[in-house]
Chain A
């Protein structure tokens, strides 16, 4: 074969430029949906987003105006309930996986957690409907919180496990060599060192379930008024958006856009918070 004449490598340069261009386009395609979502939400929702929307209850059917304050507060209540279930179970489970447990049991638990992470969220709604709603004969905030909490557990479990495994073994040994007991070492040294990562995992899980609609359809159910008891149906932002979006009223459509804008802004804020937390001041390990 005749050696190629060394020269300006035109063909190589074309290939390189082509590869760069494809990579660039792919990167744009990744970011584009986010831009589109924000653009649409702002265009359609910003005009309906006003003080009334954030502070008033929904107007009676057919009337124009009103707001979604009950849904915003309801979502926060549901997140609190979900967190009360998902955070302790998820974090402690993650600690167990990382610090205790035999290799065999751990691989089984890890696999199961990954399977749970892949379960469609509406399934959790059905499960909680069968277990709680039917048994107690009513939709309730408890049922909605439980459904969201169950979704949070495997998410938090896996992130907690991963950040705890990142804590160098030297810190465990140093604490144990001081005569500190195992559980105190785990709580005060290991979990403290990994705390930023654990909190990040919790926030991401909260942001994720905060936007869930399907598991709430037949658990929290939704409510056009204030929820006065957690054993009663409760409004949630995603549910309200869903209800309004499929309604025949133009005003409700506008409010659905505004609700979606509030929801996405909330999730966005949580993500910014996560960025701030993970950036940190010191070059901490986790």
Chain B
């Protein structure tokens, strides 16, 4: 019984990919790209965390960033919604375009960038003072939405998209922290979706979860990409292989290789990529 539960979501993804309902991972030249990152470099004080990375993120697809610890993959992710600026003494060069618009132009407010580019963190972080329902709509509330009917609609819609509605619909008044770890992470996803971002960034969203919860989140990521562009950082190469359409391999702040996931995993161009994915280092 347990085995069955554990394997089901993961298998369904794989089956769909085999049946061809999923876009063929080999599909080259994406129809549109959401992010265009050009010559991006980021320093923390004197330390160079990202070194001249150029990369296009495809729309309505999952792009995974892999690499050993400290390779700059989280920093890269955070640069996509200007979260890295929260760390003191950061400096960046290069450009990040979101649908052609410069995210780092002087006229753009980082808060607006983050409204368009949501983020899920490694450790689920529902606000402890709020109920499940309040957690989901807090982003809208604090951005000035007062209409209760609209909030209720968005609440249900977001929780449904995060595949959490059926589990919590009778417990919306309970504290968000009363949920299990996996549910909390899906609550955080619902909270991020409620403000209707264009992109969802995920920073190792499953690394603190057990295999069952992980499988659910992976299934969810698969569902979400029809509506959202998703960029995820992961330590887990099997996971990158399961969920992503494109994979970027980073090492020491540099982008070593970037391409369709199947190509990168089965026939990498770079020796370093092959060594990493076969477990010879990292």
List residues of A whose CB falls within 8 A of some B CB: 168, 170-182, 184-185, 188-189, 192-193, 195, 282-285
Closest to A286 in B: B128
Closest to B112 in A: A179
Closest to B191 in A: A178
Whether B123 lies near A285 (C-beta < 8 A) is no
Closest Cβ–Cβ distance, residue B169 to chain A (whole Å):
22
A177 with B128, Cβ < 8 A, contacts A188-B142, A282-B175 known: no
Tell me the chain B residues, 94-113 only, with Cβ under 8 Å from chain A.
111-113
A177 with B127, Cβ < 8 A, contacts A184-B142, A188-B142 known: no
Whether B111 lies near A192 (C-beta < 8 A) is no
Give the residues in chain B near A193, CB-CB below 8 Å: 127-129
Whether B195 lies near A179 (C-beta < 8 A) is yes
Whether B83 lies near A176 (C-beta < 8 A) is yes
A181 with B111, Cβ < 8 A, contacts A176-B83, A193-B129 known: yes
Is B234 an interface position by the 8 A CB rule?
no
Give Cα A176–Cα B143 distance, bound, in whole angstroms: 11
A178 with B127, Cβ < 8 A, contacts A170-B121, A173-B83, A173-B86 known: no
Give the residues in chain B near A182, CB-CB below 8 Å: 111
Closest Cβ–Cβ distance, residue A48 to chain B (whole Å):
46
Whether A171 lies near B139 (C-beta < 8 A) is no
Tell me the chain B residues, 216-269 only, with Cβ under 8 Å from chain A.
none
Closest Cβ–Cβ distance, residue A182 to chain B (whole Å):
8
Closest Cβ–Cβ distance, residue A183 to chain B (whole Å):
10
Tell me the chain B residues, 127-155 only, with Cβ under 8 Å from chain A.
127-129, 138-139, 142-143
Can you sample 26 A-B contacts with CB below 8 Å? A170-B121, A170-B123, A170-B125, A171-B127, A173-B86, A173-B121, A173-B125, A174-B188, A175-B139, A176-B83, A176-B111, A177-B83, A177-B118, A178-B138, A178-B142, A178-B143, A179-B112, A180-B139, A180-B142, A180-B143, A185-B142, A188-B138, A188-B142, A193-B128, A282-B128, A282-B175
Give the residues in chain B near A185, CB-CB below 8 Å: 142
Whether A282 lies near B177 (C-beta < 8 A) is yes
Give the residues in chain A near B114, CB-CB below 8 Å: 176-179
Number of interface residues of B (CB under 8 A): 27
Closest Cβ–Cβ distance, residue B26 to chain A (whole Å):
33
Counted as pairs of residues, one from A and one from B, with CB atoms less than 8 Å apart, the total is: 79
Whether B192 lies near A178 (C-beta < 8 A) is yes
Task: Give the interface SS of chain B, mostly helix, strand, loop or mixed.
Answer: helix
Is B59 an interface position by the 8 A CB rule?
no
Give the residues in chain A near B112, CB-CB below 8 Å: 179
The 9 closest A-B pairs by CB, nearest first: A179-B115, A178-B139, A177-B119, A170-B125, A179-B114, A180-B142, A174-B125, A179-B111, A184-B142
List residues of B whose CB falls within 8 A of some A CB: 81, 83, 86, 111-116, 118-119, 121, 123, 125, 127-129, 138-139, 142-143, 175, 177, 188, 191-192, 195
Give Cα A182–Cα B121 distance, bound, in whole angstroms: 19
Whether B143 lies near A179 (C-beta < 8 A) is yes
A174 with B127, Cβ < 8 A, contacts A179-B111, A179-B195, A282-B175 known: yes
Give Cα A278–Cα B255 distance, bound, in whole angstroms: 49
Closest to A170 in B: B125
Closest Cβ–Cβ distance, residue A186 to chain B (whole Å):
11
Whether A177 lies near B192 (C-beta < 8 A) is yes
Closest Cβ–Cβ distance, residue B63 to chain A (whole Å):
18
Given contacts A178-B191, A179-B112, A193-B129, 18 further A-B contacts (CB under 8 A): A170-B125, A172-B86, A174-B191, A175-B127, A176-B86, A176-B114, A177-B118, A177-B192, A178-B114, A178-B192, A179-B113, A179-B195, A180-B138, A181-B111, A182-B111, A189-B138, A192-B127, A195-B129
Give the residues in chain B near A192, CB-CB below 8 Å: 127, 129
Give Cα A192–Cα B188 distance, bound, in whole angstroms: 19
Give the residues in chain A near B119, CB-CB below 8 Å: 173, 177
Give the residues in chain B near A171, CB-CB below 8 Å: 125, 127-128
Give Cα A180–Cα B177 distance, bound, in whole angstroms: 21
Give the residues in chain A near B129, CB-CB below 8 Å: 192-193, 195, 284
Closest Cβ–Cβ distance, residue B24 to chain A (whole Å):
32
Whether A174 lies near B121 (C-beta < 8 A) is yes
Give the residues in chain B near A189, CB-CB below 8 Å: 127, 138
